[in-house]
Amino acid sequence: IAAFNRLVGGLALLVALFLIAVPVAKELRTMLAYRRAASPVGAALAAFAHFQAEGADLATPRRTSESPLAYAARLARQRRASNADALALARICEAAAYSARGVTDAQAGDARALARRLRRSLWRSASWAQRCERLFSPAGLVAGRSGGGREQVRSSS
Protein backbone atom coordinates (compact mmCIF):
# COMPACT_ATOMS: atom_id res chain seq x y z
CA ILE A 1 0.00 0.00 0.00
CA ALA A 2 2.93 2.39 0.64
CA ALA A 3 4.15 1.89 -2.94
CA PHE A 4 0.66 2.62 -4.26
CA ASN A 5 0.46 5.80 -2.16
CA ARG A 6 3.86 6.94 -3.49
CA LEU A 7 2.71 6.23 -7.04
CA VAL A 8 -0.52 8.18 -6.58
CA GLY A 9 1.36 11.01 -4.88
CA GLY A 10 3.91 11.09 -7.71
CA LEU A 11 1.17 11.15 -10.34
CA ALA A 12 -0.65 13.93 -8.49
CA LEU A 13 2.57 15.93 -8.37
CA LEU A 14 3.13 15.44 -12.11
CA VAL A 15 -0.42 16.58 -12.89
CA ALA A 16 -0.01 19.64 -10.66
CA LEU A 17 3.30 20.51 -12.32
CA PHE A 18 1.71 20.14 -15.77
CA LEU A 19 -1.24 22.35 -14.79
CA ILE A 20 1.18 25.04 -13.66
CA ALA A 21 3.83 24.66 -16.37
CA VAL A 22 1.62 24.93 -19.47
CA PRO A 23 -0.02 28.29 -18.64
CA VAL A 24 3.31 29.70 -17.44
CA ALA A 25 5.04 28.54 -20.64
CA LYS A 26 2.35 30.19 -22.77
CA GLU A 27 2.73 33.49 -20.93
CA LEU A 28 6.52 33.29 -21.18
CA ARG A 29 6.22 32.65 -24.93
CA THR A 30 4.21 35.85 -25.33
CA MET A 31 6.55 37.89 -23.11
CA LEU A 32 9.59 36.62 -25.02
CA ALA A 33 8.02 37.49 -28.36
CA TYR A 34 7.60 41.08 -27.20
CA ARG A 35 11.11 41.20 -25.73
CA ARG A 36 12.69 39.81 -28.88
CA ALA A 37 11.06 42.50 -31.00
CA ALA A 38 14.04 44.64 -31.93
CA SER A 39 12.04 47.23 -33.84
CA PRO A 40 8.56 48.75 -33.99
CA VAL A 41 7.79 46.37 -36.86
CA GLY A 42 8.74 43.38 -34.71
CA ALA A 43 6.70 44.68 -31.79
CA ALA A 44 3.62 45.22 -33.97
CA LEU A 45 3.95 41.73 -35.43
CA ALA A 46 4.38 40.27 -31.92
CA ALA A 47 1.18 42.03 -30.84
CA PHE A 48 -0.78 40.54 -33.73
CA ALA A 49 0.75 37.10 -33.08
CA HIS A 50 -0.41 37.46 -29.45
CA PHE A 51 -3.96 38.29 -30.60
CA GLN A 52 -3.88 35.49 -33.17
CA ALA A 53 -2.74 32.89 -30.61
CA GLU A 54 -5.42 33.94 -28.13
CA GLY A 55 -8.03 34.01 -30.90
CA ALA A 56 -7.06 30.53 -32.07
CA ASP A 57 -7.32 29.12 -28.54
CA LEU A 58 -10.41 31.01 -27.39
CA ALA A 59 -12.45 31.44 -30.57
CA THR A 60 -11.28 30.13 -33.93
CA PRO A 61 -7.90 29.78 -35.61
CA ARG A 62 -6.83 31.95 -38.49
CA ARG A 63 -7.21 30.25 -41.85
CA THR A 64 -4.08 29.70 -43.91
CA SER A 65 -5.20 32.03 -46.70
CA GLU A 66 -6.75 34.63 -44.38
CA SER A 67 -5.17 38.08 -44.11
CA PRO A 68 -4.82 39.70 -40.70
CA LEU A 69 -7.63 42.11 -41.63
CA ALA A 70 -9.96 39.29 -42.75
CA TYR A 71 -9.24 37.31 -39.57
CA ALA A 72 -9.91 40.32 -37.34
CA ALA A 73 -13.14 41.07 -39.21
CA ARG A 74 -14.28 37.44 -38.86
CA LEU A 75 -13.73 37.43 -35.09
CA ALA A 76 -15.55 40.76 -34.83
CA ARG A 77 -18.50 39.40 -36.86
CA GLN A 78 -18.66 36.44 -34.48
CA ARG A 79 -18.81 38.98 -31.63
CA ARG A 80 -15.65 37.52 -30.14
CA ALA A 81 -13.63 40.72 -30.37
CA SER A 82 -14.25 44.45 -30.60
CA ASN A 83 -14.60 45.39 -34.26
CA ALA A 84 -12.75 48.70 -33.90
CA ASP A 85 -9.88 47.22 -31.85
CA ALA A 86 -9.47 44.12 -34.01
CA LEU A 87 -9.45 46.07 -37.26
CA ALA A 88 -7.06 48.69 -35.86
CA LEU A 89 -4.62 45.99 -34.76
CA ALA A 90 -4.87 44.19 -38.11
CA ARG A 91 -4.18 47.43 -39.99
CA ILE A 92 -1.08 48.11 -37.88
CA CYS A 93 0.06 44.51 -38.44
CA GLU A 94 -0.41 44.76 -42.19
CA ALA A 95 1.47 48.07 -42.27
CA ALA A 96 4.29 46.47 -40.28
CA ALA A 97 4.45 43.42 -42.51
CA TYR A 98 3.90 44.94 -45.92
CA SER A 99 4.56 48.69 -45.87
CA ALA A 100 7.94 49.96 -46.99
CA ARG A 101 7.79 52.53 -44.15
CA GLY A 102 6.89 50.01 -41.47
CA VAL A 103 5.32 51.43 -38.32
CA THR A 104 6.30 53.97 -35.68
CA ASP A 105 7.07 53.34 -32.02
CA ALA A 106 3.69 54.86 -31.17
CA GLN A 107 1.88 52.48 -33.53
CA ALA A 108 3.77 49.52 -32.05
CA GLY A 109 2.72 50.65 -28.56
CA ASP A 110 -0.86 50.99 -29.77
CA ALA A 111 -0.68 47.47 -31.22
CA ARG A 112 0.39 46.04 -27.87
CA ALA A 113 -2.40 47.88 -26.03
CA LEU A 114 -4.93 46.70 -28.62
CA ALA A 115 -3.72 43.09 -28.25
CA ARG A 116 -4.22 43.29 -24.46
CA ARG A 117 -7.74 44.71 -24.86
CA LEU A 118 -8.62 42.09 -27.44
CA ARG A 119 -7.31 39.35 -25.17
CA ARG A 120 -9.68 40.51 -22.43
CA SER A 121 -12.54 40.58 -24.93
CA LEU A 122 -11.76 37.06 -26.15
CA TRP A 123 -11.58 35.75 -22.57
CA ARG A 124 -14.93 37.33 -21.72
CA SER A 125 -16.63 35.79 -24.76
CA ALA A 126 -15.09 32.32 -24.31
CA SER A 127 -16.81 29.38 -22.67
CA TRP A 128 -15.29 27.72 -19.61
CA ALA A 129 -14.22 24.80 -21.79
CA GLN A 130 -12.41 27.15 -24.19
CA ARG A 131 -10.72 28.90 -21.28
CA CYS A 132 -9.52 25.59 -19.84
CA GLU A 133 -8.27 24.48 -23.24
CA ARG A 134 -6.42 27.80 -23.66
CA LEU A 135 -4.82 27.45 -20.24
CA PHE A 136 -3.92 23.78 -20.17
CA SER A 137 -3.57 22.51 -23.74
CA PRO A 138 0.09 22.24 -24.71
CA ALA A 139 -0.81 22.12 -28.43
CA GLY A 140 0.37 25.66 -29.16
CA LEU A 141 3.69 25.04 -27.41
CA VAL A 142 4.90 22.20 -29.65
CA ALA A 143 8.04 23.34 -31.47
CA GLY A 144 7.74 23.62 -35.22
CA ARG A 145 3.99 23.73 -35.05
CA SER A 146 2.11 26.92 -35.74
CA GLY A 147 -0.63 25.83 -33.33
CA GLY A 148 -4.18 25.24 -34.47
CA GLY A 149 -3.60 26.28 -38.06
CA ARG A 150 -2.27 29.68 -37.09
CA GLU A 151 -0.27 31.30 -39.84
CA GLN A 152 2.41 33.77 -38.90
CA VAL A 153 2.51 37.09 -40.68
CA ARG A 154 5.81 37.49 -42.46
CA SER A 155 8.16 40.08 -41.07
CA SER A 156 9.81 42.56 -43.39
CA SER A 157 12.39 43.62 -40.80
Which pLDDT tens digit goes with each residue over 53-73?
A: 999 989 999 999 999 999 999
Per-residue burial over 35-59, b if 16 or more Cβ lie within 10 Å, else e, is eebeebbbbbbbbbbbbbbbbbbbb
Whole-model pTM above 0.85?
no
- Looking at residue 142, its pLDDT comes to 66
Q: Is the pLDDT of residue 8 over 90?
A: yes
Q: Note the pLDDT tens digit of each residue in 14-26.
A: 999 999 999 999 9
